[in-house]
């Protein structure tokens, strides 16, 4: 059974929920303290939270820890690396994903459900979605405003949209360029997402749309 | 040799600075004619180094700034 490491830094949250979502999706998962090693795992997830209290910039300090060198090795081997929220910030800060996550356009913490349009189903994380499908997941962040100098060169995976799938300014919660909510690296095996799939992995939470992301990841490793 | 270092990290021109905008508006509400307020980050520290210019520039590139969105400047003075 594919085994995933869920890395825990000081200030991480949603790690237990992420482990639970991976198990529900048919994989094995274990929380790994950032001072330990992830060498024996098939993939890795950097969950949400406020690593090092978001001091300096969100994700900046975590991105310079030794375990991130191991994450880079794992990514280079083509294994799946998923960053959720603070994990996304860590992935951009470490250079594993292009761009930067800046404070929200209106500088306050946002916590609410959003609609997303699935733009790329050719990644290990989205192969079970339909192209153009509209899904529902929650966001919870103060620094989710995605910026990149040349968005045409970025592999966009999810975009903030309205219920009908229209990409409008009103549907953009944080000011991200081109309503970008999730991006992948060129190879597709590293994904950063501001919306939280683990918080949308059970119908009792309000949506199961996020569970398919973990199922995609687990099935992709099984291949 | 020991140095006193002060680094200022700024958002690149043209990038929206929401914190600056809110503080600028608060000053405007107090009646001041404030425009284009920015909030750079300032770091002050002592550094033991034989080549402080090289080390400080490297620190900015590697951690203190994000070169995609920031510019930086610094002053380095010898500590007597």
Taking residues B18-46, what's their average pLDDT? 94
Residue in chain B closest to A99 (alpha carbons) equals: B68
Tens-place pLDDT, residues A73-116: 999 999 999 999 999 999 999 999 999 999 999 989 999 999 99
CB B2, CB B58: distance < 8 Å: no
Q: In whole angstroms, how far apart are CA A94 and each of A17, A63, A147?
A: 24, 5, 15
Model pLDDT, residue B16: 83
User: Over 90: is that where the pLDDT of B19 sits?
Assistant: no
Per the confidence metrics, is the pTM higher than 0.90? yes
Distance CA A206, CA A154 (A): 30
Q: From chain A, which residues contact B within 8 Å (Cβ)?
A: 56-57, 60, 64, 93, 99-100, 102-107, 147-149, 175
Our answer to whether residue A196 is catalytic in this structure is: yes
Taking residues B40-69, what's their average pLDDT? 97
Distance CA A92, CA A151 (A): 14
CB A44, CB A7: distance < 8 Å: yes
Name the token pair of B56.
């400080």
CB A82, CB A124: distance < 8 Å: no
Taking residues B22-28, what's their average pLDDT? 94
User: Over 90: is that where the pLDDT of B17 sits?
Assistant: no
Give B-chain residues touching A175 at CB under 8 angstroms. Answer: 16
Distance CA A130, CA A133 (A): 5
Choose the catalytic residue: A14, A17, A85, A93.
Answer: A85
Rounded to a whole number of angstroms, the distance between the first and last alpha carbons of chain B is 10
Task: Report CB contact under 8 Å: A103, B63.
Answer: no
How many residues make up chain B in this entry? Answer: 80
Model pLDDT, residue A135: 98
Residue with the two structure tokens 């140095």: B3
> Rounded mean pLDDT of chain A?
97
CB A161, CB A115: distance < 8 Å: yes
User: Over 90: is that where the pLDDT of A223 sits?
Assistant: no
Tens-place pLDDT, residues A165-189: 999 999 999 999 999 999 999 999 9
Tens-place pLDDT, residues B59-72: 999 999 999 999 99
Distance CA A96, CA A166 (A): 29
Model pLDDT, residue B56: 98
B18 — pLDDT class (breaks 50, 70, 90)? confident
Give me the residues paired with residue B10 across strands.
B71
Tens-place pLDDT, residues A25-57: 999 999 999 999 999 999 999 999 999 999 999
Dump strand ranges (E) for A57-193. Answer: 81-84, 100-102, 110-118, 134-141, 145-147, 155-161, 180-184, 190-193
Model pLDDT, residue B80: 83
CB A116, CB A135: distance < 8 Å: yes
């Amino acid at each position: 059974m594919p085994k995933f490491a869920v890395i825990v830094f000081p200030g991480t949250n949603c790690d237990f929920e992420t482990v639970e979502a991976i198990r529900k999706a048919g994989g094995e998962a274990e929380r790994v303290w950032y001072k330990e090693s992830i060498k024996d795992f098939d993939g890795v997830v950097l969950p949400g939270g406020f690593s090092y209290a978001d001091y300096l910039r969100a994700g900046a300090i975590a991105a310079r820890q030794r375990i991130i060198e191991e994450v880079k090795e794992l990514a280079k081997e083509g294994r799946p690396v998923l960053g959720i929220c603070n994990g996304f910030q860590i992935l951009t800060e470490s250079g594993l994903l292009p761009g930067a996550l800046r404070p929200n356009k209106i500088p306050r913490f946002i916590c609410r459900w959003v609609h997303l349009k699935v733009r790329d189903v050719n990644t290990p994380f989205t192969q079970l979605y339909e192209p153009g499908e509209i899904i529902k997941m929650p966001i919870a962040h103060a620094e989710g405003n995605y910026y990149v100098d040349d968005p045409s060169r970025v592999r966009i995976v999810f975009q903030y949209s309205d219920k009908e799938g229209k990409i409008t300014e009103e549907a953009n919660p944080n000011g991200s360029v081109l309503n970008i909510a999730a991006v992948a690296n060129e190879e597709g095996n590293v994904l950063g997402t501001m919306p939280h799939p683990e918080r949308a992995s059970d119908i009792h939470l309000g949506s199961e749309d996020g569970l398919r992301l973990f199922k995609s990841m687990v099935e992709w490793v099984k291949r | 040799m020991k140095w006193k270092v002060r680094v200022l990290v700024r958002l690149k021109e043209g990038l929206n600075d929401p914190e600056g905008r809110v503080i600028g508006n608060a000053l405007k509400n107090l009646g001041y004619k404030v425009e284009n307020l920015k909030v750079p980050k300032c770091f002050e520290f002592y550094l033991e180094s034989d080549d402080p210019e090289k080390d400080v520039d490297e620190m900015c590139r590697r951690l203190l700034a994000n070169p995609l969105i920031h510019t930086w400047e610094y002053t380095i003075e010898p500590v007597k």
